[in-house]
Amino acid sequence: MSSPPAPEDYFRAVERTFLDLRGGDLVLSPADWDLVSRWEESGIPLEVVLSGIRAAFSGMIRVSPRMPLRECARPVEAAFDAKRVRQAGATTASEPAPEAETSLERLAGRLGSWSPAGALLANPETAGDLVAAARDAAMRIERLGKSADASASAGETAQAIENDLVNRLQAALPDAAREEIETEVRNKLAPYRTRMPESTWRRTFDRAVRRRVGEFFGLGPLIG
């Protein structure tokens, strides 16, 4: 399973696909951006969103150039529900859903074998505490993967475990590394700075920073 796209890539792909199909003004409205952000935060995979958008347009005889993205919300949600039903059905039939299972196993494996280089930490003495936190997160995710209701709740619960660990990693960052990460993310999201509502942009910025923190410590994009 490939890593989920970075927020800026997710937004760019949704924007391009929707505007190419709709035509008209080549910009999304603030409400459109807020919807894209909620899809991304909810963990709806990019390919599912794009599939739902295309499905929304496939049934239209005439497309209005003023059509809002919310007209695609129901097809996107239906595509996501269908994906989850397929995964749940495979699990019920004793055939674990490969995508969900692989994601949890890989995450637990990375956390279980990880140890930070002292040079990456503001205080090298915190390395032991971070390793212990990562091992604890790995065990919790392994238990989650084995639970009977993993297919229904894995995404939300794994996200909470990841968030707890990323909070610890952020606190361990040297000031220079924190500033570098925030500058990098700010530059990548700059094209959306004046196009998104302030609250949407800020949430996106915070999530992208936290994702980069995981990458900085060699754990990959924990926040997906």
pTM over 0.75: yes
pLDDT mean across residues, the chain: 86
pLDDT at 224: 59
pLDDT at 92: 52
Mean pLDDT, range 96-119, rounded to an integer? 77
pLDDT at 91: 52
Three-class DSSP category at 31: helix
pLDDT at 37: 92
pLDDT digits (tens, 9 = 90+) for 149-166: 545 455 557 788 888 999
pLDDT band at 71 (very low <50, low <70, confident <90, very high): very high
Mean pLDDT, range 103-113, rounded to an integer? 86
Mean pLDDT, range 144-151, rounded to an integer? 62
DSSP letters for 50-106: HHHHHHHHHT-SS--TT--GGGGHHHHHHHHHHHHHHHHHHHHTT---HHHHHHHHH
